[in-house]
Amino acid sequence: MIDWKVLDTPEKLEEAISASHHQDIIIFKHSTTCSVSHMAKMRLEGEWDLKNVDAYYLDLKAYRQISDHIAERFQVHHESPQILLVRKGGCLYDASHFDITVAELKETLSWHAA
C-alpha cells in the first residue's frame, strides 16, 4: 500500500524536494481523466513494496501549474502519467505511461545505490 502525500501547493512541492535530501521520493503525476494514468497508478499500488521511498501524488488536472513547475525544475518533458524518482533535489529517473513500474524504480535505485 502506498501512503500518498498529496502535492497541492507549490510549498508542498518544495517540502518534497527538500525531503529528498534525506530520503528518496517519487512524484507521480496523475491525470484523473486518463485510463492509462489510472492503470499506471493501480499497477504502482499493487506492486509497491519500497520501504525507504516516500510517494507524492499530483493531480495534474487540478494543479497543472505545479506540474509545469516540476517539468521546468527537473528538466523533464511533461508527460501524463509520469513518475519521477528524486534524490538530493535531482531527478534520477523519469518514466511515463506503461514504463511506470516498481521494477524499474528498483532497478534505478540499485544502479544509484547510496
Per-residue pLDDT reduced to its tens digit, 67-84: 999 999 999 988 899 999
Query: Which grid coordinates are listed for 75?
Result: 528538466
Q: What is the pLDDT of residue 114?
A: 56
By the 8 A CB rule, do 93 and 43 touch?
A: no
Domain that holds residue 82: 5-111
Per-residue pLDDT reduced to its tens digit, 20-68: 999 999 999 999 999 999 999 999 999 999 989 999 999 999 999 999 9
Q: What is the pTM of this model?
A: 0.94
Q: How confident is the model at residue 7 (pLDDT cuts 50, 70, 90)?
A: very high
Please report, for the domain that includes residue 57, its CATH number. Answer: 3.40.30.10
Say whether 105 sits in a helix, a strand or coil.
helix
Is the link from the previous residue into 81 a cis peptide, with omega within 30 of 0? yes
Query: Domain total for the chain?
Result: 1
Q: How confident is the model at residue 86 (pLDDT cuts 50, 70, 90)?
A: very high
Per-residue pLDDT reduced to its tens digit, 90-103: 999 999 999 999 99
Say whether 56 sits in a helix, a strand or coil.
strand
Torsion of CA 12, 14, 17, 23, to 10 degrees: -50
**Residue among 56, 61, 92 at smallest CA distance from 74:** 92
Q: What is the pLDDT of residue 113?
A: 81
